[in-house]
Amino acid sequence: MQTERTFIDDLKHQYQHGGMTIRLIFINSIIFLALQILLVFGRLIGGSFESLIASILPNIFSLNTDLGEFIIHPWGIITSIFAHFTVWHFLMNMLFLYFSGKMFEQLFDQKRLLYTYIVGGIAGGFLEILAHLIFPTLQNEKIVVVGASGSVMAIFAALAFHRPNLQVNLFGVFPVRLIILAGFFVLTDLLSLGLNDGTAHFAHIGGVIIGMVSVHNLYSSSNLINRTQMIGDSLIRFFRNLFSSNKKLKVKKGGATRGPKFKSDEDYNAEAKERQITIDKILDKISKSGYDSLTKTEKEILFNQSKNG
């Protein structure tokens, strides 16, 4: 007899098996709900507690474009890309992240998605700060930046510039090439610069720039995301070894212990390029004949690629 899974079980399953896109949405959702709960309690209790909540949350979860404030609260460059304070802002970013992220995972892998999200968001934040330092009309504005828009734009731009002719059905009806959509978003942000519309347009543009750069020399070790990923992986290994509870030296008989084998950059790039060519052929087949036209082997290749990382 099969027992039905609870709602919590479904959430756990989605987080564990849904890929990096779902995990990022989970993280954003948890932070959004936590912020909303604190704000609700602040309004209900009122007084000094409400003032305290209203002052603490922006200091923790937003990026201040004033350079002096940023130096005092530097963590905002990271926390702000996971935080949303309004329902509409949260829903729009998560919807865009879901569709862009799922397509990204088919072309690349989960770890690259995570690094593109983080690097794109950070670059967008720094460009927003730089713009408020350079342009006189922005220097007098004391604003804070929140939201995953720059990160999502980096993911979408990477897709658009890597596969510009890939088509999506806008509103489920109109086929539009990704590069056309990307151009529309970029043009909208460029024409909106300087407007007091509550949107961090420079952060969007910063994300787009990272997305473009991230697919340049894609298989080279000098690629921005590849380089960042290598640094990040090295730091993770360092801290894992530093705090590992099992530090006993294991001795094996029969000679010296062999260390792990590392591929040269040339071998790694050649294999990565070959895998990408195979994925591109499968995606071309999908765009022409649909997903059902794939063979079992092709479906397995596509599934394994989306789960890699």
Arithmetic mean of pLDDT over the chain? 84
Q: How confident is the model at residue 249 (pLDDT cuts 50, 70, 90)?
A: very low
Mean pLDDT of 90-116: 94
What pLDDT is attached to residue 255? 42
Looking at residue 261, its pLDDT comes to 43
Taking CA atoms, 98 is separated from 92, 101, 219, 238, 285, in Å, by: 10, 5, 26, 32, 23
pLDDT of residue 265: 53
Q: Are 77 and 63 in contact (CB under 8 A)?
A: yes
Nearest C-alpha neighbor of 305 from the set 14, 20, 7, 12: 20
Q: Is the pLDDT of residue 77 over 80?
A: yes
Q: For residue 112, what pLDDT band results from cuts at 50, 70 and 90? A: very high
Mean of pLDDT values over 129-153? 90
Which listed CATH number (3.30.1300.10, 1.20.1540.10, 3.30.310.50, 3.10.20.30) goes with 7-214?
Answer: 1.20.1540.10
d(CA 72, CA 50): 23
User: How far is Cα 177 from Cα 96, in angstroms, rounded to an integer?
Assistant: 16
Percent helix, strand, coil in the chain (nearest 5)? Answer: 70, 5, 25
Q: Which tops the pLDDT comparison, 157 or 248?
A: 157
Residue in this structure with the two tokens 């690094």, named with its chain if needed:
115
Give the model's confidence band at 292: pLDDT under 50 very low, under 70 low, under 90 confident, else very high: low
Q: Where are the beta strands (DSSP E) in the chain?
A: 63-64, 144-145, 167-170, 174-177
CB–CB of 193/115 below 8 Å?
Answer: no
Mean pLDDT over residues 263-276, rounded?
A: 63
For 240, how many CA atoms within 13 A lie in the half-sphere containing its CB?
6
Distance separating alpha carbons of residues 71 and 69, to the nearest angstrom: 5
User: What tens digit of pLDDT does each residue of 169-228 get?
Assistant: 877 778 889 999 999 999 999 999 988 888 999 999 999 999 999 998 888 888 899 999
| Predicted local confidence at residue 162, as pLDDT | 93
Partnered with residue 174 across adjacent β-strands are 170
* Residue type at position 269: N
The residues spanned by each domain of the chain are: 7-214, 264-309
Contact 150, 124 (CB under 8 A): yes
CB 118 within 8 A of CB 55: no
18 pLDDT band (50/70/90 cuts)? confident
**Looking at the predicted structure, is the pLDDT value of residue 256 above 60?**
no
Share of the chain above pLDDT 70, in %: 84
